[in-house]
Structure 1
Amino acid sequence: MKFVFPRISRLERDILATNSIHLYFDMLWFGVLTGSTLSFLSIYAARIGATSFQVGMINGAQAIVNLIVALPAGHFLARKAVDRIVFLSAILQRVFYGVMILLPALFASSQQMVSILVITFLMSIPGTSLAIGQNALFGDSIPPENRGRVAGIRNAVLSISTIVSTLICGQVLMAVDFPINYQIVFGIGFLGAVMSTLHLKFVKPAFSDRSAAEQVLSVNGRRKTIKDLLRFDVLRGKYGLKIGLLLFFHIVQYLGIAIFPIYQVNEIHLSDSVISIGNGLFYVLMFLVSIRLEGFTRRYGYKRNLGLGICLLSIYPVFLALSTGPVLYYVASIFGGIAWGFVGGTLYNYILEAAPVGGRAGYLAWYNLVFNAGILLGSLGGPSLGNLTNLHIALWIIAGGRFVAGVALFLWG
């Protein structure tokens, strides 16, 4: 099948160039946020004595909000100018990163963890609108024929800026006394959040893809209900099996998210510098895989690459369980980066491939529901698993679960 894309005028080319530049800088500064606050918040929580349940609820709180807010947010965004809503949502969400800088000065350690969970819950409300709106804004601001190139450059910029930011923050954490070192790291993250938001302000939705876009607001001229959006008929075919397998994957994926930081800090006593180097290795390998992923997907397809990546994800908790110091932790980070290069680069395309054009809203709504349910169940189940056994045994169980999920998707997904 040959795809013919419409030509664009000189004015539209200028708009495309401007949008692309601001989207690149948006991702560059978001990488700064990722390599600072987002990478070290759970480590900070572990260092102030947080339990695995509390660390898990950093992700669990976001999932709860997404499950409640995602569908109403979709209806709300369908009636509003997407660029304005994205900018306002970004401000309302990211201002809380500035509040985190003040936590060590305002509260005792036990109160700080409660404050972090409250902040996470509050910022997830505008964060849901931001996540939905950003996907729509990207589609409306970049023509279809340019999206692959722009998305690829954005991912490369994100990887590089995250690596640099992570390594810089690691040095800050080693050179400055606790907790001022983490306040500086959170300040770097807030700067990244502010600058990313500023660049989103200048992205304009000049290329609305109305022929392929789905109107969330109406079906045959009437308002969609939850029943209309969550089409149960799509689960009767192969897509139902895919969704079930992905639910299992996301559960075993997030089982470890609450355990890993606690194990790194309390069990094998890794320093912030070692953790930052491990994070850097993770993102370097993820970047290297990402830039070669197109050839793998063209040859083997999204399903096989996704299954392979999930199987490789099982190696991370294995080496973490075997680790008694930095060396095996670095090995775990290397395999984790390779694995996530495959998983992160194929997962959404795997879903889109299974969702037919003209009916994607119902399919994607189910995946959004499954994804957040997996986060919530995994974030709550991980600490429970650790309490029932111990953190070391829990890591081996998580490794086994991830391997089974990868094999199942490879064979039957």
Structure 2
Amino acid sequence: MNVPGAISAIAWQSLLADAIPEERRADALAVRSRVVTAVAFLPTLLGGYVLDALEFPIGYQLVLGVAFASSVAEVRVLMKMREPAAAGQSPSRPMQGETSRARLPRSFMVFCLCTALFYVGWIMGAPLFTLYYVTVLEVGNLWVGAFNVISMVVQYLVFPWWSRLARSRGSVLGLGLATAGMALTPVMIAVSPSPWLVAVFCVSMGVFTSGTTLLLLDSLLDSVPEEGRTSAIAVYNVCVNLASFVGPLVGNAVVDGAGIYWAMAACALLRGIGAASIVGFARSVAQPASGCAQPRSARMASL
């Protein structure tokens, strides 16, 4: 199931880098993120209700069946898209630029490693939160769906604010605020004795998640080298996917050995370390460019 998702992620990110000019990228990604989030509202809420209302396994079969049908419709729409050939590129050899064995800049590899470190803590939190909801708060699928919807609504509302912040104050400040907030999220959940308090905290979770999602993607598209772009994005996704594989394993090991609250603390710590590494790297890239109009992607390639 993850194989087509991994391939599509590489293709989408490469297409976004080609299709959106750098000066309009933050605003365009904010609009895209709002649309994606808005589309996810209703299925997330209804999915939790259906799973609680119908007997097992009928509810799961119905939800998975609808998801499959939606995926088939999505593939039919995507197959109608036509990507124009890049300037100076022969239509008969569309992948010629991607087959070169250009060495990836060291700065891009550092960015991949910093992001992977943050992802270990980020993805580690998802199963821990669900485990806390079910075993400590003892809530059902409807509550879990409501938590997700609250977060999605807030994300939809604040995506433009993060875009304006990145455009006016720079992405370093935005990344610092968003990732630091993500590091605090496990602490917020762990101190919540009731689902109502979790629902309140979901507001701040949505704010920080939207900023992290938007600005990390923007940073990726800015930092990826022009030559061998698809290969570079593939390397980034490999690092992220490996981190996403390791994160839940680490969380499960800590839960088994020390309990859910220590696992939440470890999750917050890993997110904090990853956030600090990302912001530190972003500052190191931004500082040499003060007073220079050179695009960030060109500065990254020169390091």
Between the aligned partners of 1:143 and 1:288, the Cα distance in structure 2 is 22
1:342-378 superposed Cα distances (whole Å, 9 cap, x missing partner): 0111112212323343464564344223212211221
Structure 2 letter corresponding to 1:209: A
**Sequence identity of aligned pairs in percent?**
24
1:78-109 superposed Cα distances (whole Å, 9 cap, x missing partner): xxxxxxxxxxxxxxxxxxxxxxxxxxxxxxxx
Note the C-alpha offset of 1:297. Answer: 0.5
Is 1:259 matched up with 2:164? no
1:234-263 superposed Cα distances (whole Å, 9 cap, x missing partner): 22xx44543332221111112223322222
Between the aligned partners of 1:397 and 1:138, the Cα distance in structure 2 is 34
Structure 1 letter corresponding to 2:99: S
Note the C-alpha offset of 1:145. Answer: 9.4
Is 1:209 matched up with 2:78? no
Structure 1 letter corresponding to 2:191: L
Is 1:159 matched up with 2:63? no
Structure 2 letter corresponding to 1:208: A
Instruction: Please name the residue that 2:165 is paired with.
Output: 296
Structure 2 letter corresponding to 1:124: N
| Structure 2 counterpart of 1:197, from 70, 75, 81 | 75
Structure 2 letter corresponding to 1:285: V
Note the C-alpha offset of 1:392. Answer: 1.6
Q: CA RMSD in A?
A: 3.0
Between the aligned partners of 2:127 and 2:254, the Cα distance in structure 1 is 11
- State the secondary structure of the residue aligned to 2:126: coil
Structure 2 letter corresponding to 1:274: W
Is 1:379 matched up with 2:248? yes
1:181-213 superposed Cα distances (whole Å, 9 cap, x missing partner): 2332223322322222221122222x2224599
Instruction: Please name the residue that 1:364 is paired with.
Output: 233
Note the C-alpha offset of 1:146. Answer: 12
Are the structure 2 counterparts of residues 365 and 135 from structure 1 closer, same or farther at C-alpha, using a change threshold of 3 Å? closer
Instruction: Please name the residue that 1:5 is paired with.
Output: none
Note the C-alpha offset of 1:264. Answer: 1.8
Q: Does structure 2 conserve the Cα–Cα contact (< 8 Å) formed by 1:313 and 1:335?
A: no
Structure 1 letter corresponding to 2:45: L
Give the gaps of 5 or more residues in structure 2. Answer: 283-303
Instruction: Please name the residue that 2:113 is paired with.
Output: 244
Give the gaps of 5 or more residues in structure 1. Answer: 1-122, 220-227
Between the aligned partners of 1:137 and 1:365, the Cα distance in structure 2 is 13
Instruction: Please name the residue that 1:407 is paired with.
Output: 276
Q: Does structure 1 conserve the Cα–Cα contact (< 8 Å) formed by 2:30 and 2:214?
A: no
Between the aligned partners of 1:245 and 1:150, the Cα distance in structure 2 is 25
Are the structure 2 counterparts of residues 124 and 174 from structure 1 closer, same or farther at C-alpha, using a change threshold of 3 Å? closer
Structure 1 letter corresponding to 2:67: G
Instruction: Please name the residue that 1:341 is paired with.
Output: 210
Q: Does structure 1 conserve the Cα–Cα contact (< 8 Å) formed by 2:14 and 2:230?
A: no
Structure 2 letter corresponding to 1:251: V
- State the secondary structure of the residue aligned to 2:55: coil
Are the structure 2 counterparts of residues 175 and 335 from structure 1 closer, same or farther at C-alpha, using a change threshold of 3 Å? same
Count of aligned pairs: 277
Q: Does structure 1 conserve the Cα–Cα contact (< 8 Å) formed by 2:112 and 2:236?
A: yes
- State the secondary structure of the residue aligned to 1:313: helix
- State the secondary structure of the residue aligned to 1:248: helix
What's the TM-score once normalised by structure 2's chain length?
A: 0.78
Instruction: Please name the residue that 1:36 is paired with.
Output: none
Instruction: Please name the residue that 2:291 is paired with.
Output: none
Is 1:187 matched up with 2:65? yes
Note the C-alpha offset of 1:314. Answer: 1.9
Are the structure 2 counterparts of residues 335 and 215 from structure 1 closer, same or farther at C-alpha, using a change threshold of 3 Å? farther
Are the structure 2 counterparts of residues 362 and 135 from structure 1 closer, same or farther at C-alpha, using a change threshold of 3 Å? closer
1:7-64 superposed Cα distances (whole Å, 9 cap, x missing partner): xxxxxxxxxxxxxxxxxxxxxxxxxxxxxxxxxxxxxxxxxxxxxxxxxxxxxxxxxx
1:158-202 superposed Cα distances (whole Å, 9 cap, x missing partner): 111211221222332343334322332223322322222221122
Between the aligned partners of 2:17 and 2:224, the Cα distance in structure 1 is 17
What's the TM-score once normalised by structure 1's chain length?
A: 0.59
Note the C-alpha offset of 1:131. Answer: 3.0
1:302-360 superposed Cα distances (whole Å, 9 cap, x missing partner): 23212221111123211221223211221332222111110111112212323343464
Higher relative contact order by CA 8 Å / sep ≥ 6: 1 or 2? 2
Q: Does structure 2 conserve the Cα–Cα contact (< 8 Å) formed by 1:290 and 1:341?
A: yes
Q: Does structure 2 conserve the Cα–Cα contact (< 8 Å) formed by 1:214 and 1:358?
A: no
Instruction: Please name the residue that 1:218 is paired with.
Output: 99
Instruction: Please name the residue that 2:50 is paired with.
Output: 172
Are the structure 2 counterparts of residues 124 and 167 from structure 1 closer, same or farther at C-alpha, using a change threshold of 3 Å? closer
Are the structure 2 counterparts of residues 155 and 211 from structure 1 closer, same or farther at C-alpha, using a change threshold of 3 Å? farther
Matches within 5 A, 1:41-190: 123-136=1-14, 152-190=30-68
Between the aligned partners of 2:22 and 2:212, the Cα distance in structure 1 is 24
